[in-house]
Amino acid sequence: MDMKKFVCSNCQKVIEVPYGTPKPETCPHCGAPANCIHRIDGGGRGLGPGRGRRCGWGFRGRDL
């Protein structure tokens, strides 16, 4: 099963949760709040950066 990886900036421990599970509300190791927990792996399963309309993918370069 694929896992998402986070790190706690308070205790420096790595937290792994399965995809589909939200970011932990608190660190399971030290109890730090969610604002101390940051994603360290590649990130979501989307198309990657720059693929949305707001990033210029939409109508740029097309003849209308």
CATH number for the domain harbouring residue 26: 2.20.28
Identify the residue with better confidence: 30 or 2.
Answer: 30
Exposed/middle/buried for residue 15 (C-beta within 10 Å: 0-12, 13-18, 19+): buried
Question: What pLDDT does 42 receive?
Answer: 73
CA 52 to chain centre: 17
Number of domains in the chain: 1
Asked if residue 64 belongs to a domain, the reply is: no
Question: pLDDT category, 2, cuts 50, 70, 90?
Answer: confident
Asked if residue 35 belongs to a domain, the reply is: yes
The reported pTM is 0.62
Q: Could you report the per-residue pLDDT of 5-51, keeping only the tens digit for each?
A: 999 999 999 999 999 899 999 999 999 999 999 999 876 555 555 55
Cβ atoms of 14 and 6 closer than 8 Å:
yes
Asked if residue 62 belongs to a domain, the reply is: no
